[in-house]
Amino acid sequence: MLLKKSIISFLLIFTMFSIIGCSQETTTTAGLDYSDFDYISDYSEVFNRREGDYLVYVYQDTCAACIRLKTDFLNFANTYEDYQIYFYNVGKNSDTTNQAEYLSIIGQTQVSTPVLLVIKNKSFDNTNVSRYYFAGEVKIRAMMTDLEKESYPYWD
């Protein structure tokens, strides 16, 4: 009987801390969502947003790595407003008319997510893809760190 009460007490305390922990995590993101930022709705818009340098974050709502990266990347975009960042959800784009040209420009054969592109003066240097194309969660997190520390050498 005492063991049963102890187990129930432990489970109640554990549940309470779990609920409190989740609610605190939710409030620290300040409710940021992709819609809070500048958005691209078509492949043709990736390379013609504005003069100067900017970033394009390519993602899908169903991509597991995108989901894991979402909160950190949105917080990064919100904190480092000096970097103009555009978000492009390729999963919501049913018009693939310009997809082949997009892939040709970035030197890829298929669309992948998550991807972070560095666009320099409305162009993408596909001769140095490793400097301007970051695919996958690990590479994007590393690029975020470089940008935070201002140690990315190819940003003007």
Residue 36 near residue 74, CB atoms below 8 Å = yes
Superfamily of chain region 31-148: Glutaredoxin (3.40.30.10)
pTM for this model (two decimals): 0.77
Helix (H, G, I), strand (E, B) or coil at 57: strand
**Could you check whether the bond before residue 114 is cis, i.e. omega within 30 degrees of 0?**
yes
Residues of the chain with pLDDT under 70: 1-30, 156
Task: Calculate the CA 53 to chain-centre distance.
Answer: 18
pLDDT of res. 5: 58
Residue 54 dihedral angles phi and psi, to the nearest 5°: -155, 165
The mean pLDDT of the chain is 82
